[in-house]
Amino acid sequence: MPVDKLLLEKLCCPATKTPVRELSATELKSINDRISAGGVKFENGEPVEKPLEEGLITSDGKTIYEIRNSIPIMLIEKGIPGHQVVGL
């Protein structure tokens, strides 16, 4: 289920305050392919083990945040550095 548009307008990266937007279907597939291949890590160094159901990405493409059960997980340590995902 998509994030409420009013909520999305208010969300930003907790570290940089950069606005976020929802990942497109193509971007979501790309990151999930990389997660399945292994090697994708959260900011805190832990591996990302499960594919994302949905996600948000900062407008500069530097950080991805998971949306789980329609709830954005906007924790700095649970951000995924965008440079790990080819094409984002």
Q: Give pLDDT tens digits for 23-54.
A: 999 999 999 999 999 989 999 999 999 999 99
In Å, how far are 5, 7, 36 from 20, measured between CA atoms? 12, 11, 24
- pTM comes to 0.90
CA 75 to chain centre: 11
Average pLDDT of every residue of the chain: 90
